Structure formats: C-alpha cells, structure tokens
Structure 1
Amino acid sequence: MIKGLYEAHLPVSNLKRSIEYYKGLGLEFSHSHEDRLAFLWIEKDKSWLGLWETDRVELEYHPSIRHIAFQVTLEGLNNSVTWLTEKGYKPREAFGFEPVEPFVMAHNGIAHAKIHFNDPDGNSLELICKIENPKNITNQMYLSEWEKLNSAENY
C-alpha cells in the first residue's frame, strides 16, 4: 500500500527567503497558497516540501517535528561539504561528528552516510544515502574511515 513519502512540512518565519533557500538546494518551486504556504518539488511529481510561514517558528527543535532528510547519491554526499559551503550553507555538528566530512551510522547490517545542516529558521536538514555494509560494522565513523575500512584490499 505505502510506496514512499509524498510530502513533509516545515515552519518558516519568512516564506520568500525560505523559498529561495530551498531553491538553492535544487528544489523546484511548484506553487504557493495565500502567501503563507509554498510547495517545492524534492523529486518532480514524486515528493515535495511544504513551507508554512508562521510566527511560531521558535518551537524548540526536536527531530520528530522539525527535520527533513534528503536522499542523495554517495558521490553527491562525498562532495556535500564543499557543495553546501560554496552555496553559502553551513554544515553542522551532529551525533558528535564535526562537519568536516559526512559520517556513517551503522547498525543491524545496514548503514547510512550523512551530513547535517540547518535552514535559516533552525529546521534540521540532512543529506543522506544508504551504503553497503559488507562487514556488518556497527560503529559510527567518518565516511573516509568507512571507505578505507571497506576498501577492496581489506577483504
């Protein structure tokens, strides 16, 4: 029945500024409604992000209400710190990892590599991709360490 996530929503204090911010990340503007709500395609005709202008953006951050993770390729993720920085976005520390490069969180035979950053209103954003975990590693580490540990010569 369920095949994926179609939409997610975030509160923003300035809709026009936020539209430009997310367009800068590569999202495509779809439409707005009553100058309070805008939709941008994450993946055209498949998933989108709704931005709601409100004066209640100061809600305390919690990932269950103010977090979006965008799926990217591993190649894209490897270049993410430079890509974000060149666009004027600032990667941030997450789970004890400094934003010098993406990091890996692995558990139960699966692993994800990711980097975190915030939008202008403090909403938590993430670039993430699922990666192979052939050695069933359960540690957390920087992506460069992961790639070295899982390189072909280590088999």
Structure 2
Amino acid sequence: MKKLVLAISLLSFAASTAFADTILDRQEYMKERGKLVKQMGQMAKGETDFDAAAVLTALKGLEANAEKFDAEAMFPEGSLEGDTTASPKIWEDFSGFKAAEEKYLDAVKGAVAAPPGDLDALKATMGTIGGECGACHKAYRIKKS
C-alpha cells in the first residue's frame, strides 16, 4: 500500500512539474509576442522613429510566432493550476479560444501582406492587432492584481 501511495504521489508530482513547464513555455511564447508588439508600439507612440523595415521585420516575427501557436500543446487540460493567468474559460470554450487566435493570425497576416508605410498606417495596424490581442485577453485571461 505504501508503494502505491508513493507511486501515485510521484506521478502527481511529475504531472504538476510537466504542467509547470507547459505554463512557462506558453509564458515565454507570449513574452516573445509582447516584445515584438512593444517595438511597434514605441514607434506608434513616437518614442522611437518610424522605420518601415523594422515594422515589417516585427510583423513577420509576429506572424512566425502566431503560426507556432498550438492550443492543444500549450493549453493542455489540467494546466490551469500554477503561476498562470489563463482563465478557466479557455477550457470551457476551447473552440472559441482557438478561433480568437485564428482572428489574431489573420490580422497579423493581413498586416504582413500590406505593411504600414507611415506612422498613421502603423497606428491603424496596431489598433487592429491590439484589438485582437485585447479581445482574447479579455475573454481568456485573468488580470493580475
């Protein structure tokens, strides 16, 4: 009986460790996305000079990042516990969650296909992409206090 309890405890610990890695992986993934958006946001706010080539590079980075999105791998059932701001709504509405990411990817692909050529166009692009980010965060993320 002690061996059974020990085995179950070890499996439980291993599962929680695996989910901790999953949570860290998805946080790193989102941080990568955030860095790219920040670069363009600094230009849109006038904190740095507008650079069309840098914008296109950032947009292509966002596109590559979004194309790597794998909801099943990044948000497996049971990965809600731990240091995460993922909302339970992700698993309650998994198809809606995946659809939100698809809308984001479509917005990014559209921006890559027709990159902004000036500051006003960048602001509009940031509004579109940021709107998709915000919609997903509002529905599927818990705000940190």
Tell me the TM-score range normalised by the shorter chain.
Answer: under 0.3
Q: TM-score, normalised by structure 1?
A: 0.22
Q: TM-score, normalised by structure 2?
A: 0.23
Q: Which has the higher helix share?
A: 2
Determine which structure has more spread, i.e. the larger CA radius of gyration: 2
